[in-house]
């Protein structure tokens, strides 16, 4: 089978991804990182009344003209309104209302003079400065106007979004149900703590990286299982579990070795192979298939390869499923700092750190089998096929994580 490009692979995967149709209603408190199912229009004005932005006195601006320490103006204080108080008043001439920051400003008053510019009077207040109309006055709807489109369907909810929903008095919100993913790391060499390592074994790290990454992306991880290199065991497990998930991700067993069992798994399941091998390093031998009309994404077992192909392939799938492009990797041009001498016949992604238009690479190993030098990295540099290496100050393209 011909190797395909990364873009072709993404296109095939996205085409086979069904959009999530299930929604659920959650409390705004629980909605962090979930995808909004519908547009939200503001049901109320925020604030829903004219309010004071200062501790002071609500006045009519025109009645403060010319006030100074030499020529104070006296107003009658007809009411004291703390934040949360309300009173229906009829403003008459030369009157003021003592207000606090956040207090309701009764109709007829159009500005607030801060208390520092007064004698703090209780019944009569002396003003030592004038104010312009709407000074220190936060008008109804200043923050949000009733009827305004506030949040669009497909928004991945952040703390600010939740604050906005809360300020609109919304207790619950309808979100897309997270998609369900099952994860399998395959390999007879894989151990898991507290098991002691036998000679020839390594601890399974892929499952921990990918499961936690899926959770960060608000995906429901239905199972996360380590299985030995036994194609029948893996096929049986997938057969049994496929009904519970929207997609299965596996790591390991996709290359050409005797124990690269995922080819046999696909054949036992009679799944439909979509592609095998992408023209890129790391992670070349990605094996994608369709089983029971659902995607199975077989990633390489090498930890850096598994992580890279997960980010590059799964995020477009998730964006498609969740009706949003928020998960899609952001690309930027950057100035390369350092040197990278490894030439590359194939397109290559290397781990790096991007900040303020400059990208640098870690000093550790760049091998596909090495996870630790990913520490502190926040992007990949996308290096085109045939590149001889990277030179200082060269402009490169980075994919942000």
Site residues (CB under 6 A) for ligand LQZAQKY5?
A: 185, 187, 189-190, 202, 204-207, 251-257, 260, 282-285, 300-303, 305, 368-369
Can you read off the two tokens belonging to residue 259?
């124990």
**How far is 5 from 19, CA to CA, in rounded Å?**
24
368 binds ligand MOO (CB under 6 A): yes
Work out what residue 185 binds among ligand MOO, ligand LQZAQKY5, none; the CB cut-off runs from 5 to 8 Å by kind.
ligand LQZAQKY5
Pick the binder of ligand MOO from 186, 284, 324, 344 (CB under 6 A): 284
Beta-carbon contacts of residue 2 (< 8 Å; ≥ 6 apart): none
- Kindly state the smallest distance separating residue 174's Cβ from ligand LQZAQKY5, in Å: 37
- Part in contact with ligand MOO (CB under 6 A); list of ranges 36-44, 241-249, 281-289, 318-326: 281-289
CA–CA distance, 1 with 287 (Å, rounded to integer) = 11
305 scored as a contact of ligand MOO (CB under 6 A): yes
> How near is the Cβ of 38 to ligand MOO at its closest, in Å?
41
289 contacts ligand MOO (rule: CB under 6 A)? no
283 scored as a contact of ligand MOO (CB under 6 A): yes
CB of 156 to ligand LQZAQKY5, least distance (A): 28
Length of the chain: 401
303 binds, among ligand MOO, ligand LQZAQKY5, none (CB under 5 to 8 A by kind): ligand LQZAQKY5
CB of 282 to ligand MOO, least distance (A): 3
Beta bridge mates, 290:
272, 295
We find the least distance from the C-beta atom of residue 302 to ligand LQZAQKY5, in angstroms, to be 4
CB of 118 or CB of 302, closer to ligand MOO: 302
The verdict on 106 binding ligand MOO (CB under 6 A) reads no
Whether 347 contacts 6, CB under 8 Å: yes
Report DSSP state, residue 20.
Answer: P
Joined together, the tokens standing for residue 300 give 């390489």
Greatest C-alpha distance within the chain: 97
Beta strands in 247-394 (DSSP E): 247-251, 272-276, 287-291, 294-299, 331-337, 348-355, 358-360, 379-383
Query: Interface with ligand MOO includes 302 (CB under 6 A)?
Result: yes
Would you call 353 helix, strand, or coil by DSSP?
strand
Q: Give which of 190, 193, 293, 195 is closest to 251, Cα–Cα.
A: 190
- Helical axes 231-241 vs 262-269, angle rounded to 10°: 50
| Contact region with ligand MOO (CB under 6 A), list: 146-154, 226-234, 263-271, 297-305 | 297-305
Take residue 220 and report the two structure tokens written for it.
Answer: 């429901």
* Interacting residues toward ligand MOO by CB under 6 A: 281-284, 300, 302, 305, 368
């Amino acid at each position: 089978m011909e190797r395909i490009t990364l873009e072709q692979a993404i296109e095939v995967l996205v085409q086979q991804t069904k959009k999530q149709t299930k929604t659920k209603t959650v409390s705004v408190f629980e909605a962090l990182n979930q995808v909004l199912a519908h547009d939200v229009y503001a049901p109320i004005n925020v604030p829903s009344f004219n309010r004071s932005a200062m501790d002071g006195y609500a006045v009519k601006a025109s009645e403060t003209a010319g006030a100074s320490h030499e020529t104070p103006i006296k107003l009658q204080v007809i009411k004291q309104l703390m934040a949360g108080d309300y009173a229906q008043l009829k403003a008459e001439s030369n009157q003021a209302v003592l207000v606090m920051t956040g207090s309701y400003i009764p109709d007829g008053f159009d500005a607030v003079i801060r208390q520092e510019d007064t004698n703090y009077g209780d019944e009569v207040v002396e003003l030592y400065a004038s104010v312009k109309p709407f000074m220190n006055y936060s008008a109804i709807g200043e923050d949000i106007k009733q009827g305004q489109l506030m949040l669009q369907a497909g928004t991945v909810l952040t703390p600010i979004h939740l604050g906005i929903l809360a300020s609109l008095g919304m207790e619950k919100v309808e979100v897309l149900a997270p998609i369900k993913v099952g994860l399998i790391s395959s390999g007879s060499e894989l151990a898991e703590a507290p098991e002691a390592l036998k000679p020839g074994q390594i601890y399974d790290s892929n499952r921990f990286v990918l499961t936690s990454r899926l959770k960060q992306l608000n995906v429901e991880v239905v199972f996360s299982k380590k299985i030995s290199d036994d194609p029948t065991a893996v096929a049986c497990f997938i057969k049994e579990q496929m009904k519970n998930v929207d997609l299965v991700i596996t790591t390991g067993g996709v290359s050409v070795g005797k124990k690269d069992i995922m080819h046999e798994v696909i054949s036992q399941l009679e799944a439909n192979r979509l592609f095998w091998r992408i023209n890129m390093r790391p992670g070349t031998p990605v094996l994608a298939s369709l089983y029971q009309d659902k995607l199975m994404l077989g990633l390489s077992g090498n930890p850096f390869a598994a992580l890279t192909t997960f980010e590059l392939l799964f995020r477009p799938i998730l964006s498609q499923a969740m009706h949003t492009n928020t998960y899609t990797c952001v690309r930027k041009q950057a100035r390369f700092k350092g040197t990278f001498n490894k030439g590359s016949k194939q397109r290559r992604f290397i781990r790096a750190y991007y900040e303020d238009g400059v990208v640098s690479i870690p000093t550790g190993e760049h091998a596909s089998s090495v996870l630790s030098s990913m520490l502190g990295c926040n992007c990949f540099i996308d290096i085109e096929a045939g590149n001889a290496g990277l030179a200082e100050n060269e402009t490169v393209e980075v994919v942000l994580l």
